[in-house]
Amino acid sequence: GENVEQHPSTLSVQEGDSAVIKCTYSDSASNYFPWYKQELGKGPQLIIDIRSNVGEKKDQRIAVTLNKTAKHFSLHITETQPEDSAVYFCAAKSWNNAGNMLTFGGGTRLMVKP
């Protein structure tokens, strides 16, 4: 089955700096890669996703890049703000799977210091 590794597990940055979180996956058949943000006491919220036919996707301060050859994808947050502090999860889904089963990485706790 799919295995997703996420690094780092914790990340501390100064407000205004950039943050990068990296994930690797094992199943070359995976074709959908969402990123979720989870704040304390809440469920995960989708912030951006990318499909395997695209190498990069950007939404304001957030961008995701995908390298299918190397089987890794990354989340980039620019101009970080204190409200970006949360736990971020990457996930992968294989096209072999007809449904919506996601395999998640272990999570990254991002702390943005004012």
Partner 1 sequence: KAGVTQTPRYLIKTRGQQVTLSCSPISGHRSVSWYQQTPGQGLQFLFEYFSETQRNKGNFPGRFSGRQFSNSRSEMNVSTLELGDSALYLCASSSGTSGGETQYFGPGTRLLVL
Q: Which 8-state DSSP code applies to residue 9? A: S
Nearer to partner 1, 41 or 114 (CB): 41
Structure tokens at 2: 């799919």
Q: How far is the CB of 89 from partner 1 (least distance, A)?
A: 6
Instruction: Check binding of 99 to partner 1 (CB under 8 A).
Output: yes
Instruction: Check binding of 105 to partner 1 (CB under 8 A).
Output: yes
Q: Which residue in the block uniquely carries the two structure tokens 């502090």?
A: 85
C-alpha to C-alpha distance for 14 and 8, rounded to whole angstroms? 16
Instruction: Check binding of 36 to partner 1 (CB under 8 A).
Output: yes
Q: In what side-by-side order are the strands of the sheet with 4-7? A: 4-7, 19-25, 72-77, 62-67, 56-59
Nearer to partner 1, 3 or 18 (CB): 3
Among 21, 23, 27, 31, binds partner 1 (CB under 8 A): 31
Q: 58 to 87, contacts with partner 1 by CB under 8 A?
A: none
- Residues constituting the chain: 114
Instruction: Check binding of 42 to partner 1 (CB under 8 A).
Output: yes
